[in-house]
Amino acid sequence: SGTVVPRLVAAVSEQRQWDRLMEMARLGAFTGADGSPGVNRPCLSPLDREARRLLIGWGMAIGLTPSIDALGNLFLRHEGQDPGLAPVLTGSHMDSQPAGGRFDGIWGVLAGLEAIQALREAGITPRRPIELVAWTNEEGGRFAPGCMGSMAYAGHSKPDTWDAVTDGEGIRFGDALREQLMLEADLPRRPLGVVEGPAPHAYVEAHIEQGPRLETEGFDIGVVTGIQGSRWFLVEIIGESAHAGTAPLSTRRDAVQDMLRAITALNALMDDPTDILRFTVARIEVQPNSSNSVAERVRFTIDFRHPSAAVLAQRGDAIEATIRGAVQRCEVVVTERFHAQPVDFAPEVTEAVARASAAQGLKALRMPSGAFHDAQFMVPLCPSGMIFVPSRGGISHNPAEYSSPAQLAAGARVLAQVLGELAET
């Protein structure tokens, strides 16, 4: 239909959504180097649990029913006229980057809450149930890779695939997850996604753009057409520690020097004059990490992304050989930790987002997502799509991340109309 439901759009409250965002931003708040208000809320942490309890409280206050699955994915269900119908699912993630912003992930969860609350306040009971989801560990900051909750929900990975992955303190993901499930044992348990239950009818995720296009090109809403592919690797270079003052350079097995050779060779492999390809090395651990002991072992991460499945395969598959060809004296171990194929979103969702934006007088740009999202793993299960709102200066994964109350309210209004429509199909 795409006609605005005025009482629904009017029921979305800019202030209520903003107040909730700011209350959530206090959980893990810190001040960035430039004074910006950042958030550090790791998944499966006491802060994460406090944020989840806050969300559950807001949800139950409007009659939503909470539940969690074996990966700790948190759901809040709004009953429909026909409870037997597959629900429309909306949501995002509540965990943040270690130096994250106040909007990445959490806005999509609170926009979903706002949209559902507006439907109720507008007196609209959709045919289908609508479920709000907060996915476990989307960021992959504490435990790599990201999207562990949505990948397990979608059957893309087994529930215990990540159990042995450890964080910076050596805590295993499986242990942190079991602790969370035990501390949230009061919440009803539900089957794990499509592994143990039916697929949703559709999935819509609202998220900040995290890039500059909507702002620079003057648009209010991003009609997200798809997500580029991502591949994560862990590289270990193993040499031999030695005395910085006595060991001759000609015989050292210096893991740092070989890492530099490897990254230089990778930069050549990843050269892209069209500036479409993304290649990032941003996490490096050195042992023994002492200024006068030659490095024995280095671990570094690779985050490689491209919209073309062919380029993702071709260049990604060349990473290990490129490293082995560049390293001179050390051993090399390369492990692939994450592989998300490029996806295209379904017209059932993208056109609903475009119609709702137009009906509400918002300028909408069709655009792909450079960031990965839980939506990537929903695509094989049901018609899926995303709604973007502008990020100031395109900044994200940075405390300076910002979207205005009005921009976020516009996104929530489009989401409300799209959810209302999909819940009638």
Out of 55, 152, 208, 371, name the contact with ligand HGY by CB under 6 A. Answer: 371
CB neighbour burial string for 27-38, b if at least 16 within 10 angstroms, e if fewer: bbbeebeeebbb
Q: Does 377 bind ligand HGY (CB under 6 A)?
A: no
We find the least distance from the C-beta atom of residue 105 to Mn ion, in angstroms, to be 4
**Whole-number Å distance between alpha carbons of 125 and 282:** 47
- What DSSP line would sit under 132-153, residue for residue? EEEES-SS-SSSSSS-HHHHHH
Q: How far apart are CA 413 and CA 133, in angstroms?
A: 18
Task: Please choose, from the candidates 302, 311, 306, 374, the residue with its C-alpha nearest in 3D space to the C-alpha of residue 336.
Answer: 302
Nearer to Mn ion by Cβ, of 53 and 397: the residue is 397
The C-alpha atoms of residue 350 and residue 97 are separated, in whole angstroms, by: 28
SS3 content of the chain, % helix, strand, coil (to 5): 35, 25, 45
Which of residues 97 and 417 has its CB atom nearest to Mn ion in the complex?
Answer: 97
For residue 406, count other CB atoms closer than 10 A to its CB.
12
Examine residue 233 and tell whether it contacts ligand HGY (CB under 6 A).
no
Candidates 107, 153, 304, 372; binder of ligand HGY (CB under 6 A) is 372
339 is in an annotated binding site: no
- Residue 146 interacting with ligand HGY (CB under 6 A): yes
Among 139, 209, 374, 421, binds ligand HGY (CB under 6 A): 139
Is 104 annotated to bind ligand?
yes
- Least distance between Mn ion and beta carbon 334 (Å): 25
Nearer to ligand HGY among residue 90 and residue 210 (C-beta) = 210
Nearer to Mn ion, 257 or 403 (CB): 403
**Residue 139 marked as a ligand binder:** yes
Judged by beta carbon, residue 228 or residue 407, the one nearer ligand HGY is 228
78 annotated to a ligand binding site: no
> Which residues bind to ligand HGY, rule: CB under 6 A?
138-139, 146, 371-372
Residues annotated within the binding site for Zn(2+) are 93, 104, 139, 207, 397
